[in-house]
Amino acid sequence: MNAPLAPPPLLHARKQAILAALRGLLPPHCLLSEQEDTRPYECDGLTAYRQLPLAVALPETEAQLMALLKACSALRVPIVPRGAGTGLSGGAMPIADGIVISTAKMSRILALDPLARTARVQPGVRNLAISEAAAAHALYYAPDPSSQIACTIAGNVAENSGGVHCLKYGLTLHNVMRVRMVSMDGEIIELGGAALDAPGLDLLAVFIGSEGMLGVVTEVTVRLIPKPPLARVIMASFDDVITGGDAVAEVIAAGIIPAGLEMMDRTSVRMVEPFVKAGYDTNAAAILLCESDGMPEEVEEEIERMSEVLLRAGASAIAVSGSEAERMRFWSGRKNAFPAAGRLSPDYYCMDGTIPRKRLAEVLQGIAAMEQTYGLRCANVFHAGDGNLHPLIMFDANQPGEFDRAERFGEAILALCVEVGGTITGEHGVGIEKIDAMCGQFTVNEVAAFIGVKRAFDGAFLLNPNKAIPTLDRCAAYGKRQARGGVFKFVKQVGA
């Protein structure tokens, strides 16, 4: 939410030298350097941050990618890797004197083994395309971020993407077996493998969620799982959010792991319903969507148990999807919450924090109080099962002061998340948006450990610089601002 950054002065001669070097490595249609061509790459889903890059490279082969990184390393040109650009934290925002490397042209499914239940795919394969290819074998790839029609597997790897089913089926980390990547010095490194526990350090886990800072993906081997024959979802209404929050805890405490467990507050429900007609209870203070999937008998039994638990926990009404069409309709409201906010308000700011499930009521009350403080409305959708909260702050950037108030409102929400023992991002990543908040989340020793690991992969700090991990200088400056009374208090206690 900064103004567009002015391109820093880069000597024309150096720019020409870099382009000349890259032209020798890529076919002409794989290198974009005119503004009209690079414009579509100036931002990702965090559209408030924009920057034109020096050039955009779209390699078609691993060999081209290796040559590209070797050349950029030699010339000290910073790199921003990019998937489909659907990220929400500015992780793929270009830098003026750097190259964007898009892996969009490397989009083939290389192998699909229904027996081993794996698929080996190139980085630019779309998330949903994997499940589409696997459907012939009644298999699918589980993580389902809302952007799954567009987002690519390498982007999912960079962000450790989840989705509404991650409580039961896990994040990208839990569904990827191996990553083949090119390091900043142009070497191939393979991480992970087929074994449950690979020897050596678990660098696959470090790589997944590293936001393009450790290498550029050239192949991903994903796990496929059998498509459950049946799924049904319960919509439960609650007269207040505290009861709803407690019901979430009760479901988990009953030993049930729902395939999805989502909560929406009244503001969200009323925002979505006229637009989507999902059949939501607009009189409820909050609704819960609680899904079961599996073999039909298991689903029926689990739906029954969930219903009992929810009613015992104080649900005022319950509806169960009677058909696949109705199930899709129940979900459509949740999945369209962000577009609905866009219809209702000229601008909205989607936050992404996590909290311990049991602190939900407290955090929602805190956010309600902040609505008064900042004079802005906020709708809350919540991946309740895994404690990932998405407050949508609505504002009008054309009204003087609203933009700033929205930004401060967002910072205050994240501060509250950390204060109750949560984190500053659940699934959208740090990118450039939350780089300062990292200084509040982690101690200096912890940030230093991150930097050390980053250095192990990219000693020259050329890969996606100034994203995801703050420098220690930045944290020191942040600490000084907080000492003068910034909104985001350094609340983490060692041992808390």
Of 22-30, 273-281, 444-452, 477-485, the segment contacting its own copies by CB under 8 A is 444-452
Buried b / exposed e across 296-332, counting CB within 10 Å, b at 16+? eeebeebbeebbebbeebbbbebbbbeeeebbebbbe
**Cβ neighbours of residue 132 under 8 Å, at least 6 residues apart?**
none
- Specify the residue, 156 or 267, whose C-beta has the smaller distance to its own copies: 156
First CA to last CA distance, the chain: 32
Q: By CB under 8 A, is residue 419 in contact with its own copies? A: no
| Percent helix / strand / coil, the chain, rounded to 5 | 40, 20, 40
Q: Which amino acid is at 385?
A: G
Among 80, 303, 468, 475, binds its own copies (CB under 8 A): 468
Pick from 275, 403, 450, 490 the residue near its own copies by CB under 8 A. Answer: 450
If one asks whether residue 143 binds its own copies (CB under 8 A), the answer comes out as: no
| Cβ-Cβ contacts under 8 Å for 245 (sequence gap 6 or more) | 263, 357, 358, 360, 361, 364, 384
Q: Which of 42, 402, 427, 433 binds its own copies (CB under 8 A)?
A: 427
CA distances from residue 300 to 151, 249, 395 in whole angstroms, order as listed: 33, 21, 43
Q: Does 351 bind its own copies (CB under 8 A)?
A: no
Binding-site member from 331, 422, 433, 465 for its own copies (CB under 8 A): 422
Return the number of the residue (74 or 194) whose C-beta is nearest its own copies.
194
Check residue 424 for interaction with its own copies (CB under 8 A): yes
- Please tell me the distance from the alpha carbon of residue 222 to that of residue 224, in angstroms, as a whole number: 6
Contact string (CB under 8 A) for its own copies, positions 275-314, x = contact: ----------------------xx--x-------------
Supply the minimum distance, in Å, between the C-beta of residue 420 and its own copies. Answer: 10
Query: Mask: binding to its own copies, 475-494, rule CB under 8 A, as x and -?
Result: -------------------x
Nearer CB in complex with its own copies: 32/412: 412
| Beta-strand runs (E) in 266-334 | 286-294, 317-320
Q: For its own copies, which stretch binds (CB under 8 A), given 14-22, 259-267, 274-282, 442-450? A: 442-450
Using rule CB under 8 A, residue 243 touches its own copies: no
Cβ 48 vs Cβ 3: under 8 Å:
no
**Interface with its own copies includes 135 (CB under 8 A)?**
no
Note whether 94 binds its own copies by CB under 8 A: no
Residue 254 C-beta: closest distance to its own copies, Å = 9
Q: Taking CA 90 as the corner, what is the angle to CA 85 and CA 96, rounded to the nearest 5 degrees?
A: 90
Burial class (CB in 10 A: 0-12, 13-18, 19+), 263: buried
* Residues between 59 and 78 with contacts to its own copies, criterion CB under 8 A: none
- Does 192 help bind its own copies (rule: CB under 8 A)? no
Query: 374 near 408, Cβ under 8 Å?
Result: yes
Q: Is 205 in the site for its own copies (CB under 8 A)?
A: yes
Question: Is 495 a residue that touches its own copies (CB under 8 A)?
Answer: yes
- Contact present, 418 and 424 (Cβ < 8 Å): yes
